[in-house]
Amino acid sequence: MTIEFFILMLIVFMVIAALIAVESSDLLSAIIAVGTAGFALSVIDLLAGAPDLAFPQVLVEVITLVLLIRMIMTRKDTSRQTPQDTLRTAVVLLAGGVFLVTVFFAAGGMGMTDGIPAFGEPVMGSAADTGLSSQYLERCADDTGAANTVMGILLDYRAYDTLGEATVIFAAILGGYVVLRKIGRKKGRKEPS
């Protein structure tokens, strides 16, 4: 069994989890299904050799699950149950099918793409290389003075992107603290009827 097989099985698992999340009548079950799909994505990132994507994905999933479950457990449910909508199910299945067909053709199914390298092959030096990554590697040591090329690219060439990612993580942590804090909350507040 190859890595591609495991990734394909995880993608199928993610699609099933997304369908469960959409079709679930219980909000807690839907949140857990979305969380499992996110964790499956982080495993795919690890299998694809991208731990720099997997770790933030896990961090964001954990924080989001904690916040959403906390909100679900403390809210008063005043919603009414609505009947299942067949059109909604059909639209979700159609969108999932279009997504899978797009992934199939993008990954080189039936020889439709020539520019995408095979899974696991390096992108630099292939037909898909536009030359920008080669320029980064050639000029990084001279331009940035960094001994580590990856950190030089992240902190000098892509500094605004890295700052944006750090800001998102900081905002998620701050939001979690605000929701879960005990000091500063009003006691004895009654819910409006």
pLDDT in tens, 12-57: 899 899 888 888 878 888 889 988 998 998 998 888 877 777 888 8
pLDDT at 114: 57
In the numeric block, which tokens belong to residue 140? Answer: 């990084």
| Helix H or strand E encompassing 118 | none
Mean pLDDT value across residues 125-151: 72
> Has residue 6 got a pLDDT over 80?
yes
Parse the chain into domains and list their residue ranges.
1-75, 130-184
What is the phi/psi pair of residue 182, to 5°? -110, -35
d(CA 105, CA 116): 11
Tens-digit pLDDT profile for residues 48-76: 877 777 888 888 888 888 888 888 887 76
Confidence of residue 173 (pLDDT cuts 50, 70, 90): confident
Give the span between the Cα atoms of 8 and 30, in whole angstroms.
Answer: 23
- Cα separations in angstroms, 31 against 21, 37, 42: 7, 10, 17
Closest CA to 153 of 135, 165, 166: 135
Long-range CB pairs of 153-161, under 8 A, 24+ apart, other chains included: none
pLDDT at 125: 57
pTM: 0.51
Higher pLDDT, 45 or 127: 45
Percent of the chain with pLDDT over 70: 74
Which residues, other chains included, contact 1 with Cβ-Cβ below 8 Å and sequence gap of 6+? none
